[in-house]
Amino acid sequence: MNLPFLPGKINTWYSAGVEKRATELKGFLERASKLFEDSLKVKIDLTMAVLAPKEWEVLMDKPYGLPTMRRGTCKRSNEKFPKPLYAAILPGAVDGPVYDGWMQLKYSLSPATIQKLKKEGIAFEQGGKY
C-alpha cells in the first residue's frame, strides 16, 4: 500500500484526508513514549498507521474504529509493516465503537466532575479522541 508518510520517533503512515489526526496521534504517542523511556527506562519501538475506512478494510480483520496492534503481516492482505515489527493501527476518524462507548460514559459522571473538567479546560469529549 502506498500511503503518505510522517517520519520521526514513531514513523507514521496515513490515509489521504487524515493527515491532521495522524499528526496529532503521532505527537501524542511520541510524548508518551518519551515519558516511558525516561521514567521506566523502556525503549519504545513502534510504527503507526492511521487509516481511513477504505484502507482499513483492505488491511484489517477488525471492525473500523477499533484500535489494534499488529506484528508483521496484516491479516487480510500480504502487506507487511516495515521495521519495527509492531504497528499501532488507529482509525483516521473519531468515530466507531471505542468513541461511542467513551461518549456513553459521560452520562455516568456527576455534574461536579464535569464541572471540574471544564474548570481545568478539558472537555470530556477530548478523552475519546485518542
pLDDT digits (tens, 9 = 90+) for 26-52: 998 899 888 888 888 888 888 888 999
- In the prediction, which pLDDT does 2 show? 86
Q: Does pLDDT of 94 surpass 80?
A: no
Q: How confident is the model at residue 129 (pLDDT cuts 50, 70, 90)?
A: low
Which grid cell sits at 83? Answer: 521495521
Strand partners, 89: 49, 68
Give the E-state strand segments of 15-110 in sequence order. Answer: 47-51, 68-71, 86-91
pTM for the model: 0.67
- Closest residue by Cα to residue 122 from 108, 32, 113: 113
- Number of Cβ within a 10 Å radius of residue 29: 20
* Per-residue confidence (pLDDT) for residue 1, from 0 to 100: 66
Q: How far apart are CA 126 and CA 69, in angstroms?
A: 22
Q: By CB neighbour count within 10 A (0-12 exposed, 13-18 middle, 19+ buried), where does 12 fall?
A: buried
- Domain positions in the chain are 5-93, 95-130
Confidence of residue 77 (pLDDT cuts 50, 70, 90): low
pLDDT value, residue 75 = 57
**pLDDT value for 66:** 77
